[in-house]
Amino acid sequence: MANELPAETVVVQDPQQAVALLNPLRALILANMHEPVSAAEIGRMMGQTPQKINYHLKALEKVGLVRRMGSRQVRNLVGVLYQAIAKSFILSDALGFEPETVRRMKEDGSLSHLVHTSDKLKRDALRLLERSEAGMAVHSASLSATVRLAGEEARQLFVQDYLEAVRQLTAKYGAAEDEGRSANKPPEANESDAELYDVLIAVYPQIRSGED
């Protein structure tokens, strides 16, 4: 069980699992569980208490969306590790949800992730500013752009192209140690000196001046 990897995608046909995914916080917790993690670790990532995360983990485990993956000892505490059964979830049409319900669930889940990403960016930026002020070199990059998308078809095509471009880039420079080095992956001068960098990207409707 400890070596079992999450599936890429699971089609959810169980109503109880679908209801769990309708909860934005639980959907966001699942998005942070591609690797075995404890309630305390997820809590730190999301700015929530371990008790609150543990409550939702129990609910997700009960409906089979997460599984236990052993334990990890940190200092004098032993934390149970959990992992999502898949990296992404798709609701089956057989569930009979109204299209509007499915649309709102996808939208709410994406917006919850956007809020979490924004919070993480702010927290990490403050820590990095402290390092910079202390004289440490901080390497970073940022990109700001606006795209014009007319209609649902254009939005869907943009999202597909956007995700594929990011997938290719992260696959080329991916941090997974057990996947081996791809043919087009750039060599490191010294693999032991390699640093990990977070990549956080978001696409959302432009908010014009004066809008709430």
Average of pLDDT values for 100-114?
62
**Is pLDDT at 112 greater than 60 in this prediction?**
no
pLDDT value of position 211: 55
**Is pLDDT at 179 greater than 70 in this prediction?**
no
pLDDT digits (tens, 9 = 90+) for 43-67: 888 888 889 999 999 999 999 999 9
In order of 74, 90, 96, 175, the CA distances from 197 in angstroms are 24, 29, 42, 9
pLDDT digits (tens, 9 = 90+) for 4-27: 778 888 888 888 888 888 788 888
pLDDT value of position 58: 93
Identify the residue with better confidence: 19 or 183: 19
**Is pLDDT at 175 greater than 70 in this prediction?**
no
Among residues 98, 99, 37, the alpha carbon closest in space to that of 67 is found at 37
State the alpha helices, DSSP H only, in 134-151. Answer: none
pLDDT digits (tens, 9 = 90+) for 78-101: 789 999 999 888 877 777 766 666
Identify the residue with better confidence: 122 or 186: 122
d(CA 60, CA 170): 29
Percentage of the chain with pLDDT > 90?
A: 13
Angle at 112 between CA 109 and CA 115, to 5 degrees: 155
Compute and round to an integer the Cα radius of gyration of the chain.
19
Average pLDDT taken over every residue of the chain: 77
d(CA 24, CA 46): 13
pLDDT value of position 82: 94
pTM of the entire predicted model = 0.47
**Is pLDDT at 154 greater than 60 in this prediction?**
yes
d(CA 165, CA 83): 27
